Structure 1
Amino acid sequence: MSITTLNDLYIDQLQDLYSANRQSLKVTQKLADKASNAKLKDALQRGVKGIEDGIDAVEGLIRKHEADPRGEFCQGMEGLVKEAKAHAIEADIDDKDVLDASIISQYQRMTHYALAGYGTVVAFARRLRLSDDVRTLQACLDSTYSGDREMSQLAEGEVNREAA
């Protein structure tokens, strides 16, 4: 797709976000399966649901703009997924508490990438005066921030203490 307007860039970034979400969904489920801490498992399962909701929302917006959701492949998330596999899913970490701490760090790296993506498309949608899109994307952004804060609280309040 040739990018010549902000609208073109907006669609491109939505497609990239769609790809990023699809990639992070699979690895987040694996992180949840690998986690030992019950609260962490629950939080990651809520993360899976949030990512699924984000995929549906972004796909709907892309289709509304008559584009193919699979028009981009997010190489940035591909790298983060590889890191999550190497440092958590396939990592040789014997201490379950240390592994849980690593799981949180890898999940948050992916989450922060998603926050940047959602923030970007919200800003573009605002500039393009796409108020329905803004509402949808802002809800995704808010949900992602909420999940990130929950992970930080879990890490700081329990998981990192146990890992230490």
Structure 2
Amino acid sequence: MPIKTPSELFIHDLSDTYSAEKQMTRSLPRLARAATDPQLAQAFEDHLEETRAQVERIEEIAEALGLKLKRIKCEGMAGLVEETLSMVDQVQEGPVLDAALIGSAQKAEHYEIASYTSLILMAMKLGYAPAVPLLQATLAEEQATDKRLGAMAEASAIEQAEATS
């Protein structure tokens, strides 16, 4: 069924983002297990807890606005997850894999940041006031995670990977 109105687009994009977050809840434990740097593993575990709360926020938004989420699969996140899991299988365990995991995780974070930025703008334009602070809270978490991952890459992952190659 084609999307014809801005509110239908909002429901579609919210549903797509819901799917993306659900996919992240399934992939983050594997990333935590694959990481050899304990801080990186902890970052993935911490983000898993945040992601579970983000899923709940989307459900809260749908309930507050009286929207029914669509059962769709976020193909963008599916591709990012598939690419990341492929890296886990292809890259030797250790600092090089940690660097690859950080890069892959940042790709997913940037995808989510773009999704939430768009959803906030649509919610504001559509008058969906109850959704805005919830979406902004999630956006702030995604940005903080991206910053944390970037700092980890800058601090050690790349140098350690280069030193072991």
What does the per-residue CA deviation read over 1:63-120, in whole Å, with 9 as the maximum and x for residues that have no partner?
33334334321111111111011012x22x3350001001111111111111111111
Which letter does structure 1 place at the counterpart of 2:133? R
For 1:15, the equivalent position in structure 2 comes to 15
Which letter does structure 2 place at the counterpart of 1:122? I
1:66-85 matched pairs, under 5 angstroms: 66-85=66-85
Percentage of pairs with the same residue: 28
Deviation at 1:2, TM superposition (A): 4.4
For 2:51, the equivalent position in structure 1 comes to 51
SS at match of 1:131: coil
Q: Say which of 85, 91, 99 aligns to 1:101.
A: 99
Which stretch of the first structure deviates more once superposed, 52-61 or 68-77?
A: 68-77
Which letter does structure 2 place at the counterpart of 1:130? Y
Please report the TM-score for the alignment, with normalisation by the length of structure 2: 0.92
What does the per-residue CA deviation read over 1:15-35, in whole Å, with 9 as the maximum and x for residues that have no partner?
000001111221111101110
RMSD over equivalenced CA pairs, Å: 1.4
1:1-164 matched pairs, under 5 angstroms: 2-88=2-88, 90-91=89-90, 93-164=91-162
Which letter does structure 2 place at the counterpart of 1:17? T
Unaligned runs of 5+ in 2: none
Contact 1:19 1:70 in 2 (8 A): no
Q: Distance in 1 between matches of 2:104 and 2:70?
A: 25
SS at match of 1:24: helix
SS at match of 2:130: helix
Q: 1:95 to 1:30 in 2, by over 3 A?
A: closer
Which letter does structure 2 place at the counterpart of 1:23? Q
Contact 2:61 2:130 in 1 (8 A): no
Q: Distance in 2 between matches of 1:149 and 1:130?
A: 29
Unaligned runs of 5+ in 1: none
Provide the aligned length of Structure 1 versus Structure 2. 162
Deviation at 1:128, TM superposition (A): 1.2
Contact 2:34 2:93 in 1 (8 A): no
